[in-house]
Amino acid sequence: MADIAASSGARGKPAIRLSLNDPTFRAIFWQIVVVGIIGLILWYLISNTLHNLEVRKIATGWGFLSREAGFAIGETAIEYGPENSYGRAIVVGILNTLRVAIIGIVLATILGTFVGIGRLSKNWLIAKVCSVYVEFMRNLPLLVQLFFWWALFQDAFPGPRQALEPITGFFFSNRGIKMPIPAEHWIHAWMGVAFLIGVAASFYVKHWAAARQAATGEQFPVLYAALGLILGLPFVVWLIGGAPVAMDWPALRGFNFQGGLTLTPEFAALLVGLVTYTAGFIAEIVRAGILAVPHGQTEAASALGIRRGKMLQLVILPQALRVIVPPMTSQYLNLTKNSSLAVAIGYPDLVSIANTTLNQTGQAIEGIAIIMAAYLTVSLSISLFMNWYNKRIAFKER
Amino acid sequence: MKALASAIAAAAVAVAALPAQAQQGSGSPTLDAVKARGQLICGANGSVAGFGMPNARGEWTGLDVDVCRAVAAAVFGDATKVRYVATTAQQRFTALQSGEIDLLVRNTTWTLSRDTSLGLDFLATNFYDGQGFMVKKSLNVKSAKELNGATICVQPGTTTELNLADYFRANNIRFTPVVIERLEENIAAYLAGRCDSFTTDVSGLASIRAANTPVPADHVILPEVISKEPLGPSVRHGDAKWGDIVKWAFFATLEAEELGLTSANIDSQMNSTNPSIQRFVGATGGLGQMLGLDNKWAYNIIKQVGNYGEQYERNIKPLGIERGVNNLWTKGGLMYAPPLR
């Protein structure tokens, strides 16, 4: 390779000959041919589609997004009613998908990590229970599991008038789990601000402590300080606001409970299904990551006199994470995309609402395009974030 | 080089020529396709007894299914030459648009927006229906107006879903929808008590109460009928000739009832001197030819499928729904076929 480059460089840039024997021309020629064929196929598909839509008088365009939707949605994160537009209905769907995906990713990671570590436990019972869990969850189709949880939530709990109340204010019925929440008060917004300030201050404390330890060798209890800041600041604000204790209690009125916070059976079934299923895969990834760190690292750390907790934090986990993060990204993407199975159990996610929209308007191509664009955006965002994180924790060769 | 270029040019021309295929034959691409296949593909419901559902022997039965059978009898002279495709409320229009089915008869409401923007044509009304509510008797609800705050099970992508929202808005009361695509799961959710009420067309409610509930007497259908639901067959837009065949195959079943022709007596009426009957059985008039069919098309329908009244007796009566507006116009109903002449 180097020889050819050197010799052609010595003779100056050779002229491109219009022959397939000329490597440069050949490369460009075939690229043009391939691009041309792909272009022709695309042109054929698009023109044929438009032609057929035109012939069959099927409506096209995006105008329907601003038309009144006319249908109601059971769970909405933002204000929504049948008088709102299709566009807003789809936003409600996207938010519902994001809600289950984000909570699901957090919970699946926690559960999966525990099970993965549990499978490595020296305790025979814990290790076996975790093994059975992993094999069970990984090897049953997700849709079957979702139907199982859905049927369980629906049939195992009584109707709202006979709801179970294990703790005062918490009602379990086939309409979901109802719980009291603090009644609306202006101080809540300020408590949120205080919480964010607490988080920012914690980061500052962490940096300061690291710098101080590097300079003086003295350690600082960062964890307790951070907890104090993150929880303590909002608490102080709450006290300043007059410590409002009024709660919004759920109460049975008419057919159902009014007030309080609701966890619907559809959301609960979907969340539990996604979390337990994905946690099975995550557990194996975590186990693989930990096993990938050679035992010599542990021994070397003990030889240096590092405590067990610190050892895990400073030696084992940073190396394990390098193995864990890339496949974990795939699992996060899977969980997000699997949430579209919600349509089978009636949780109003993006697919469910976009399906209804395309059915009411008849604009299937636009509806599917919205679904694809939304999932692509969410998935690429997760990928980008995880790649950034992966780069951050990657082994830095100096 | 030259050979390559000309090959690419030839490929491009061939690809461009594909959409414009020569159209020969009857002038109806759907009829040609059906005849070439030797079978009609009919989109039906699959889970509503009385309209479209396979029975215990796996044979499809129902008022909608009888429209499919009538069309097959008219085209092939054999009512059994039909393949049924069970469609959900959401898939049905796409299935028709994409050509997966030739004909959609799935208790589908005829509305302006569907007729104009979905690329399909509604042809006739084979059942006049309206939307109602079913509740458990134990709830002691007497009127739909008492359903304030109720949770209601409904199928997505239906006019039902829209009427429901309209009705509650108009009466200034609130509800929470539970929307599940497959009817079976939707009914299961209602029966499990996830919903206080189930809503769909009154005929559908009667069918579900009779066929899907453990004890039908535990469920009541509320008196309010909140919408007009003219249910009927539809075909793809742009094939008027195929639409004619479906439309007149259905009208023939109404005409036969009006003329007193049934599957039992039509053979003995073949030599009737009544000119209307002579035209109907194909002895005179050549009506079949005008449709591009055999002149015995209508005879085959009545002989094999029966007239509309027979179909109603067989399919809808067992659900406990009286003829009412679905009776012939001569008996105070809305069923009225234009003259077959």
This model of the complex carries an ipTM of: 0.73
pLDDT at A13: 63
Domain B131-227 in CATH 3.40.50.620: no
Domain range enclosing A385? 86-160+261-393
Mean pLDDT over residues A192-206, rounded?
Answer: 90
Check: CB of residue A155 under 8 Å from CB of residue B190.
no
Residues in contact with B91: Cβ distance below 8 Å, sequence separation at least 6, in sequence order: none
Q: Are strands B103-104 and B219-221 parallel, antiparallel or unpaired?
A: unpaired
Positions in chain B short of pLDDT 50: 1-2, 4, 7, 10-23
B-interface mutation test, from A40, A44, A52, A57, most B Cβ less than 10 A away = A57
Confirm or reject contact between B118 and chain A (CB < 8 A).
Answer: yes
Average pLDDT over residues A146-164: 86
Tell me, yes or no, whether A107 lies in a domain: yes
pLDDT for residue A259? 75
Q: Is A39 on the interface with B (CB under 8 A)?
A: no
Structural domain includes residue A123: yes
Q: Domain B29-128+231-326 falls in which CATH fold?
A: D-Maltodextrin-Binding Protein; domain 2 (3.40.190)
For chain B, the structural domain boundaries read: 29-128+231-326, 131-227
pLDDT, tens digit, 9 for 90 and up, residues B46-90 = 888 899 999 989 899 999 999 999 999 999 999 999 999 999 887
Nearest to residue A355, comparing CAs of B328, B286, B182? B182
Q: Does the structure show a pLDDT above 80 at A7?
A: no
Q: Report chain A residues whose CB lies below 8 A from the CB of B114.
A: 362
As a residue count, chain A comes to: 398
What gap in Å lies between CA A338 and CA A335, rounded to an integer?
5
**Considering the domain boundaries, does residue A7 fall inside one?**
no
Other CB atoms closer than 10 Å to residue B256's CB: what's the count? 29
A346 domain-assigned: yes
Virtual CA dihedral for A312, A313, A315, A316, nearest 10 degrees? 50
Report pLDDT for A317.
84
CA–CA gap between residue A44 and residue A48 (Å, rounded): 6
Range with the largest mean pLDDT of A56-60, A239-243, B96-100: B96-100
Q: Is A15 on the interface with B (CB under 8 A)?
A: no
pLDDT of residue B22: 42
A243 domain residue, yes or no: no
Which residues make beta-bridge pairs with A68? A85
pLDDT of residue A308: 79
- How high is the pLDDT of residue B16? 45
- Cross-chain Cβ contact B93/A361 below 8 Å: no
**A272 lies in the same domain as A151:** yes
Task: Evaluate if pTM is beyond 0.90.
Answer: no
Judge whether A233 lies within some domain: no
The pLDDT tens digits of the residues spanning B264-278 come to 999 999 989 999 999
DSSP B52: B
- Phi, psi for A13 (deg, rounded to 5): -70, 120
Using the beta-carbon criterion (under 8 Å), do A72 and B97 form an inter-chain contact?
no
Q: Please provide the distance, in angstroms rounded to a whole number, between the alpha carbons at the two ends of chain B.
A: 66
- Regarding predicted confidence, which is higher, A60 or A112? A112
With 0-12 / 13-18 / 19 or more C-beta atoms within 10 angstroms meaning exposed / middle / buried, residue B341 is exposed
pLDDT, position B290: 92
Give pLDDT tens digits for A64-114: 888 888 898 988 888 898 889 999 999 999 999 999 999 999 999 999 999
Measure A16 CA to nearest chain B CA, in Å.
16
State whether A32 and A135 are in the same domain.
no
- Contact A56/B236, CB-based, under 8 Å? yes
Q: Which two tokens stand for residue A141?
A: 């189709």
* Helices assigned H by DSSP within B38-111: 63-76, 92-97
Q: Is residue A57 less than 8 Å (CB to CB) from chain B?
A: yes
Is A346's CB within 8 Å of B15's CB?
no
- Residues of A (315-344) whose Cβ lies below 8 Å from B: 343-344
CATH code for the domain in which residue A273 is found:
1.10.3720.10
Summarize pLDDT for A210-233 with one digit per residue, the tens. 898 888 888 888 888 888 888 888
CB B210 within 8 A of CB B204: no
For residues A133 and A50, membership in a common domain is answered with no
Equal fold, B29-128+231-326 vs B131-227: yes
| Of B297, B287, B282, nearest in space to B340 by CA | B287
Strands B120-122 and B131-136: unpaired
**Contact B276/B259 with Cβ under 8 angstroms?**
yes
Number of domains in chain A: 2
Q: Are residues A357 and A302 in the same domain?
A: yes
